Structure 1
């Protein structure tokens, strides 16, 4: 059976996990207001998605 003969050192363990770090979210620039937003989603700043107003914001 596949049982380790020696304890895996911290360095070897960390080298193996070197590529497992999480990256930040991919962001795209909104063509209407130039704010950064998540791709394929409505812009939270202006409410536009693909050149159409999807969300209505109330003026205060």
Structure 2
């Protein structure tokens, strides 16, 4: 496990963490029972199998 050799200042820690950005999920078109919707790629199979319902 990596162990820091020196204490990192609070300002340095916050400036490093502030560079992190969240991204919007990639959407794919899924057609279920004649209804088409844009859903996240990781949930596409769940919609096709009927585990999740497409909302209006």
Structure 1 length-normalised TM: 0.37
Indicate the structure with greater strand content: 2
TM-score normalised per structure 2: 0.37
Give the structure, 1 or 2, with the largest relative contact order (CA under 8 Å, sep 6 or more): 2
User: Higher helix fraction: Structure 1 or Structure 2?
Assistant: 2
